[in-house]
Amino acid sequence: MSNHNKIRPVDKNNPNGKYKILFSTPKTKNSNIPMEFRGLQIYNSKFLAEEALRKRKKLTKILEEKRAKSMQGNKRALGNSGGDQSNLVQFSPEVQKLKDAKIKRAKDLYKDGYSKSEILRKIINEFKLDRDLNSRSWPKWLTELE
């Protein structure tokens, strides 16, 4: 149960006195939400509290529309548009063929007695991959190689 955005009397025994609203407080310092709509706010009348809550809800709607508009044309997630797993770049046929070829070659080298570090260096050279030869991180498929 949330306590945010609800009008409550400051004193439970005096419901006709001052009123309070607990607004959420953004974690970031650069926020479009004015200070009057952050944290605990006290109002002298219920009418002022209702008006403040109405303004805050209107502001929330405006900010959500603004954020949605700014996301239109966003190209950061091109490989994963719409949440469809088949759109992911790593599932494209070319990437899968390359991965399968690397795994097959790694298994052959492993059978020939090479260590995993040597296998990684050989695969980087043979497939002309853009990776550091002295990299200490291994691909997941190489760690699972047995």
Instruction: For residue range 16-64, list pLDDT tens digits in order.
Output: 779 999 998 888 878 888 989 999 999 998 999 999 999 999 999 998 8
Q: Degrees (nearest 5) of the Cα angle 44, 28, 5?
A: 35
For residue 14, pLDDT over 80 is answered with no
The dihedrals phi and psi of 109, each to the nearest 5 degrees, come to -65, -35
Q: Are 88 and 79 in contact (CB under 8 A)?
A: yes
DSSP string, 75-144: -TTGGGGGG-GGGSGGGSHHHHHHHHHHHHHHHHHHHTT--HHHHHHHHHHHTT-SS-TT-----HHHHT
Instruction: For residue range 83-106, list pLDDT tens digits in order.
Output: 556 666 777 788 888 888 998 999
pLDDT category at 1 given cuts 50, 70, 90 is low
Q: Pick the closest to residue 37 from 4, 1, 70 (CA basis).
A: 4
pLDDT category at 3 given cuts 50, 70, 90 is confident
